[in-house]
């Protein structure tokens, strides 16, 4: 990866030198397997660094062309796909999801528990596409314990996103679970983008993977991004790790990788919420599209709409479990809204997202700045390297 002198992009080379040792410390003694980081400002790559291994057991260093499971960094790509169809007049965001996926017309809403079990009521208002994009739909992931509906998700999870199962069946199984709350009344991170991806497939009248390939991946030259890693690319696929304590990462077998399974196998149920694999170079192309106001995929007005905060003040702060978040949310992206509430250096209007295996990106229009990090480790919470990376990046801006 060719880099430019930091001063040519309004940054300090001396200050950027703090980044390397800090990232190295994250992989010291195998705390994390390996990390790759990139910073771009004013169209110039001012930092590219690698540290550690992509495969510890094989002593294989992390390299620029490695392929990573990007998990929830899939969500922004699928959200852009949905907005392409909105721009073509194929649907509107305030239309009911049930117009396109009839199974959701029967989905009830949890309203409490009684002697006879769960009390269920009709949707009021009905779930719309906007609810899916903003994670205010009432869907969930089954990660928490604050509702008996979460237990129903946990019971269903072993049946979801098995690679041989049709996507329609998976989405209809999700529709059979009651909503945790009435659409639009709360924020909950969820399978909403997976539902959105199937809606894209229905509206586009073609498999989701084909639509993404034709309308996003090929136009941007993202030739290493896919729901399946082709046989000739498998040697570049990063080994994914987990750990229970510090210093003990252990490899996760391919067929046991959470949520998405073995990405070297074909899938009939591509996960729009977390199923794509990609490289740092490929995802940088997507980030540059976003920084260029959506060109050539969507108009600047559409991207501005997507990267505005859509969450009412009454629903803030957003929370995931016990964790209070420091941002708002747009149509597929988190959005920085208040510098005083941010827990790492940023700008108002900066947006991005992360993946469950610690992949991470941001796009900052105000500073003409992109940050991108690839690694492959779960669980996300154990090593909070993302804030460290962002602080060390922003502190190097000097113009």
* pLDDT one-digit tens code per residue, 214-244: 999 999 999 999 999 999 999 999 999 998 8
Query: Is the pLDDT assigned to residue 368 strictly greater than 80?
Result: yes
Query: Is the pLDDT assigned to residue 259 strictly greater than 70?
Result: yes
Could you tell me where the DSSP H helices lie in the chain? 13-16, 19-27, 74-87, 129-134, 148-156, 167-175, 192-204, 208-212, 218-220, 280-291, 300-306, 385-394
Residue with tokens 């991470």: 360
Q: What's the mean per-residue pLDDT of the chain?
A: 96
Looking at the structure of the chain, the number of domains it has is: 2
Residue 180 lies in a domain: yes
Does residue 130 share a domain with residue 92? Answer: yes
Does residue 180 share a domain with residue 236? Answer: no
Quote the pLDDT of residue 249.
Answer: 87
**Mean pLDDT, range 12-19, rounded to an integer:** 98
Of 4, 14, 72, nearest in space to 398 by CA: 14
Residue 284 lies in a domain: yes
DSSP bridge pairs for 163: none
Quote the pLDDT of residue 115.
Answer: 81
Q: Quick: pLDDT tens for 307-329.
A: 999 999 999 999 998 889 999 99
Query: Is the pLDDT assigned to residue 171 strictly greater than 80?
Result: yes
Does residue 223 share a domain with residue 165? Answer: no
| Bond preceding residue 125 cis, omega within 30 of 0 | yes
**Domain termination residue (choose one: 184, 204, 224):** 204
Does residue 263 share a domain with residue 153? Answer: no
Residue 333 lies in a domain: no
Query: What CATH number should be reported for the domain holding residue 154?
Result: 3.40.710.10
Does residue 162 share a domain with residue 253? Answer: no
Residue 298 lies in a domain: no
Does residue 184 share a domain with residue 98? Answer: yes
What does residue 198 show for φ and ψ, rounded to 5 degrees?
-70, -35
Quote the pLDDT of residue 321.
Answer: 85
Domain hosting 98: range is: 80-204
Does residue 144 share a domain with residue 86? Answer: yes
Residue 55 lies in a domain: yes
Quote the pLDDT of residue 132.
Answer: 98
**Mean pLDDT, range 171-188, rounded to an integer:** 98
Does residue 89 share a domain with residue 62? Answer: no
Does residue 188 share a domain with residue 251? Answer: no
Handedness of CA 50, 51, 54, 60 (dihedral sign): positive
**Mean pLDDT, range 26-44, rounded to an integer:** 92
Quote the pLDDT of residue 380.
Answer: 62
Residue 325 lies in a domain: no
Quote the pLDDT of residue 323.
Answer: 87
Query: Is the pLDDT assigned to residue 382 strictly greater than 70?
Result: no
Which tokens sit at 20? 């390397």
Least confident of 179-188, 199-208, 302-311, 314-323: 314-323
Does residue 105 share a domain with residue 57? Answer: no
Quote the pLDDT of residue 379.
Answer: 75
Q: Quick: pLDDT tens for 53-109.
A: 999 999 999 999 999 999 999 999 999 999 999 999 999 999 999 999 999 999 999
Does residue 224 share a domain with residue 185? Answer: no
**Domain termination residue (choose one: 204, 239, 254):** 204
**Mean pLDDT, range 199-207, rounded to an integer:** 98
231 neighbors 351 (Cβ within 8 angstroms): no
Residue 343 lies in a domain: no
Residue 304 lies in a domain: no
Query: Is the pLDDT assigned to residue 247 strictly greater than 80?
Result: no
**Domain termination residue (choose one: 187, 204, 221):** 204
Does residue 364 share a domain with residue 230? Answer: yes
């Amino acid at each position: 990866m060719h880099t430019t002198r930091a001063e040519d992009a309004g940054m300090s080379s001396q200050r950027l030198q703090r980044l390397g040792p800090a990232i190295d410390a994250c992989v010291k003694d195998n705390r994390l397997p390996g990390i790759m980081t990139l910073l771009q400002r004013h169209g110039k790559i001012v930092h590219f660094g690698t540290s550690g291994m992509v495969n510890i057991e094989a002593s294989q260093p992390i390299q620029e062309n490695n392929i990573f499971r990007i998990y929830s960094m899939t969500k922004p790509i699928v959200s852009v796909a949905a907005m392409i169809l909105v721009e073509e007049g194929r649907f509107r965001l305030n239309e009911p999801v049930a117009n396109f996926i009839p199974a959701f017309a029967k989905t009830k809403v949890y309203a409490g528990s009684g002697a006879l079990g769960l009390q269920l009521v009709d949707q009021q208002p009905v779930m719309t596409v906007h609810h899916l994009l903003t994670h205010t739909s009432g869907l969930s992931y089954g990660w928490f314990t604050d509702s008996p509906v979460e237990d129903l998700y946990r019971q269903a999870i072993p049946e979801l996103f098995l690679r041989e199962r049709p996507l329609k069946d998976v989405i209809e199984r999700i529709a059979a679970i009651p909503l945790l709350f009435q659409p639009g009344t709360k924020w909950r991170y969820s399978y909403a983008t997976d539902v959105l991806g199937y809606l894209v497939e229905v509206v586009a009248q073609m498999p989701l993977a084909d639509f993404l390939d034709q309308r996003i991946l090929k136009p941007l030259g993202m030739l290493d991004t896919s729901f399946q890693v082709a046989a000739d690319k498998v040697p570049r696929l990063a080994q994914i790790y987990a750990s229970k304590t510090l210093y003990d990462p252990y490899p996760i077998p391919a067929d046991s990788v959470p949520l998405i399974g073995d990405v070297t196998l074909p899938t009939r149920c591509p996960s729009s919420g977390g199923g794509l694999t990609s490289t740092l170079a490929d995802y940088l192309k997507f980030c540059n599209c976003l920084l260029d106001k959506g060109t050539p995929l969507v108009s600047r007005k559409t991207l501005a709409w997507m990267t505005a905060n859509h969450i009412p003040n009454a629903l803030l702060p957003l929370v995931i479990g016990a964790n209070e978040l420091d941002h708002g949310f747009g149509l597929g992206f988190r959005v920085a809204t208040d510098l005083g509430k941010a827990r790492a250096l940023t700008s108002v209007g900066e947006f991005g997202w992360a993946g469950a295996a610690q992949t991470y990106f941001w796009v900052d229009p105000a500073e003409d700045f992109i940050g991108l990090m690839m690694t492959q480790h779960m669980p996300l919470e154990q090593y909070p390297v993302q804030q460290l990376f962002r602080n060390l990046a922003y502190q190097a801006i000097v113009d």
